[in-house]
A and B are shown apart, each in its own frame.
Chain A
């Protein structure tokens, strides 16, 4: 079945550091890939997405490229800010079993210190 493997946190970085959060997936067919973010005390919201191979999703300085050959969708940001502190979830949307399902990774907590 569909699955998402995401690096466990927490990840602690200093402000302006480079961020990478790894995400790999297993799925049949051609899934869509997403990164969702959960800020402290808030619900999940979409950060970015890519719907086909080699697509790059970007938002708020974050980027992720859909790599079918390595089944990966790693999240990157060149210079993190304290306000980026949150939990980041990689997710896969597929049609496994003939119905829509969206599978999430375990989530990676990012803490950015001044």
Chain B
């Protein structure tokens, strides 16, 4: 089956620094990738939709200058949390759709990245 790899799985950083999280589709091409934030009571909040070769579409309330998303190739999207603060500590999950499956295609999920900002 399709595999999505997310790295790093855990990261601890100091307040004010930036952190980059990578999301790779290992055995398929993904035109569209999605970034989610999972809160302690388990709900998944969509942060942005990332499209290869174009700007990401951010959900309302998500600061695009703080959460920089780059989708430079059909197999890689990155999320950079800039000037991180303790309130950014969370579990970030990426997911990808196989190219060409459109709106009906299933999502394949990365393992998630636990960010802790001290």
Residues of chain A whose beta carbon lies under 8 Å from any beta carbon of chain B: 1, 31-32, 34, 36, 43-46, 49, 51, 87, 89, 91, 93-95, 97, 99-107, 109
CA distance A100 to B106 in the complex (A): 12
User: Which of A1, A36, A101 counts the most chain B CB atoms within 10 A?
Assistant: A101
Residues of chain B whose beta carbon lies under 8 Å from any beta carbon of chain A: 32, 34, 36, 41-44, 46, 49, 51, 57, 59-60, 93, 95, 97, 102-104, 106-107, 109-112
Partner pick for B104 among A36, A51, A89, CB 8 A cutoff:
A51
* A89 surroundings in chain B (CB, below 8 A): 44
User: Which of A31, A102, A109 counts the most chain B CB atoms within 10 A?
Assistant: A102
B42 touches A102 (CB 8 A): no
CB proximity of B2 to chain A, nearest CB, Å? 10
A49 touches B106 (CB 8 A): yes
User: Which of B32, B97, B106 counts the most chain A CB atoms within 10 A?
Assistant: B106
B104 touches A104 (CB 8 A): no
CA distance A104 to B32 in the complex (A): 17
CA distance A48 to B57 in the complex (A): 27
CA distance A1 to B57 in the complex (A): 14
Known A99-B57, A100-B32; judge A45-B46 contact (CB<8 A): no
CA distance A83 to B57 in the complex (A): 38
